Amino acid sequence: MGTLKNAIQLLAKRPSILVLTIILSTVICIVENLLIVLFNLLTKFETGSPFDDYINIIQFVIDTILVPQTAVRIILVLVVLICLVALIFALLLSGYFNILNNAVAGKSKKNGSEFIAGIKKYFLRMVSLNLWTICGVVIFVIYALIATIPAAIVIDNAFNGTISIIAGILLSIITILVLFFSFAFFRQYIVFWYPSAIVYDKNHFKMAKKISDSNFWTLLSRFIIFDAVLLIFDTVYIIANFSLANAQVVSGTTSNILLFVNIIFKTIFIALLVCFVFSSFKKCNDKYQYKNNTNS
């Protein structure tokens, strides 16, 4: 309730935050829909168990990358896409986060647009952060895919009766725990890096890491709640999309309704999340600064 109340107070101070959140959530939801369509097409090619499909997709990607000419083209396309995404989101986030940070800091509105002021001051900084974030996400996804291959193979063999099912379960639990804590640290460093870059002119990541490390378990418990809510909704949303697609009852109207519901949910979710992140960073940062000043 505290998170919700805080978000409502911040949105009341700066209603433009909600407008920008709607734009951001719409972009995200459209991308999600495209990924669902792509994944749905991939599942049409049945090659055995789901684990076989997973291994075959990974193998196909590896084989494709190993072809020099294809690898160069893929790299060039990825570089162009990453740069475009970094630039586009830098335009949005630099103004968006400037407005949000001013609201969290309790600053009164000044003459002129806070959004434009944020772009002028933080655009290049956001481009740099976005490039680092995207590259970090790509590396983490590759790491996660590689880390899950042994578990996928062992589970597949366990279901086929080749090895003990207990071995498959144990390896799966270990893999999930390793990936969970890897993601937890990665996520907290990244999300705190953005408010840190708005507050500090130098050493943004260093400060974000220090503050995150000193409040890791408290922040993790809150983030888990966000994760659970998002996981439940996205699971229902994906199942609904696949069920309707398999039943061949998907129409333009149905797809638009599902997309609209997703946009509404993501707008509320992202608004609560970003307000929580910036408010938590300010609270933790104030505590960190007070502790340092007291010690010194």
19-70 tens-digit pLDDT: 889 998 998 999 888 887 777 666 665 555 555 665 666 666 667 767 777 7
- Which pLDDT does position 128 carry in this prediction? 94
Question: Which tokens hold the place of 203?
Answer: 């050493």
Say what the pLDDT of residue 251 is.
59
* Predicted local confidence at residue 252, as pLDDT: 63
Largest CA distance in the chain: 71
pLDDT of residue 245: 63
- Residue with structure tokens 């072809």? 67
Matching residue, tokens 């966000």: 226
| pLDDT given at position 125 | 94
pTM attached to this predicted model? 0.84
Count up the domains in the chain and report the number. Answer: 1
Using an 8 Å Cβ cutoff, are 241 and 36 in contact?
Answer: yes
Extract the tokens encoding 229: 């809510």
pLDDT score at 33: 85
Domain that holds residue 185: 2-295
Residue 122: how many CB atoms within 10 A of its CB? 22
Tokens 């630099």: give the residue: 94
Residues of the chain with pLDDT under 70: 1-2, 40-62, 65, 161, 245-252, 295-296
